[in-house]
């Protein structure tokens, strides 16, 4: 009798293997990670900072990325200034309560961003084109506010993303519509970038 649990595990691993084989041969994906690295390297060397944000699991990835930069990834080196805009419960709840959730990251960027900073946003989807749907508009509003402050934008996106592409300088796109796989690709890209950044500082 077949073991359906083991079959499910193998199928999930097969899905990931196929995705990573696709990424290994995706020159555009490689080039966009390189572009993100060069922008981040320039930002670090100019003494500027990173402002990171996302919703749900993407909020956790923003916090993970900030922690890797402020603390360390694999090497002892100087601290890199990075702030996850998803962590201050008083700011998040005050802004959402008084002005609505779509402004929750934009307001913080208005307060914190200066010219030369980089805003880094994570989403597994896109803003909605339905006028009464606020889905991911806090991501778009944050990027647009960063632009007005003279900051650059890096977006971690997916195959579902189209409307957000026009508000970022670099888009790292996970070639999937599956939320879990998108997040795993984003995490891998974070670790690649951290490794490149630390190599560049050594």
Query: What is the C-alpha to C-alpha distance for residues 124 and 54, in angstroms, rounded to an integer?
Result: 9
- Per-residue pLDDT tens digits for 111-148: 999 999 999 999 999 887 655 555 789 999 999 999 99
Does 52 reside within a domain?
yes
Does 25 reside within a domain?
no
The position carrying tokens 């930069």 is: 69
Owning domain of residue 54: 42-201
Does 19 reside within a domain?
no
Does 195 reside within a domain?
yes
pLDDT at 131: 52
- Our count of domains for the chain comes to 1
pLDDT at 135: 75
- Per-residue pLDDT tens digits for 146-189: 999 999 999 999 999 999 999 999 999 999 999 999 999 999 99
Mean pLDDT of the chain: 95
Does 31 reside within a domain?
no
Task: Tell me the CATH number at 125.
Answer: 3.40.50.10490
Does 28 reside within a domain?
no
- 189: part of which helix (H) or strand (E)? helix 179-201
């Amino acid at each position: 009798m077949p073991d359906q649990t083991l079959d499910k595990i193998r199928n999930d691993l097969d899905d990931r293997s196929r995705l990573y084989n696709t990424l290994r041969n995706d020159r555009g994906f490689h080039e966009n990670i390189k572009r993100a690295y060069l922008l981040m390297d320039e930002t670090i060397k100019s003494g500027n900072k990173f402002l990171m944000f996302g919703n749900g699991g993407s909020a956790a990835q923003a916090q993970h990325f900030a922690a890797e930069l402020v603390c360390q990834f694999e090497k002892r080196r100087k601290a890199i200034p990075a702030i996850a805009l998803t962590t201050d419960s008083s700011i998040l709840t005050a802004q959402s309560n008084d002005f609505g959730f779509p402004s929750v990251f934009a307001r913080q960027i208005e307060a914190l961003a200066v010219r030369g900073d980089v805003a880094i946003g994570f989403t597994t989807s896109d803003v909605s084109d339905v006028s009464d749907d606020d889905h991911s508009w806090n991501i778009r509003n944050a990027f647009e506010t960063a632009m007005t402050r003279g900051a650059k934008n890096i977006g971690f996106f997916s195959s579902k993303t189209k409307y957000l592409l026009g508000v970022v300088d670099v888009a790292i796109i996970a070639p999937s519509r599956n939320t879990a796989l998108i997040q795993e690709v984003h995490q891998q890209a974070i670790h690649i970038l951290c490794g490149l950044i630390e190599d560049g500082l050594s």
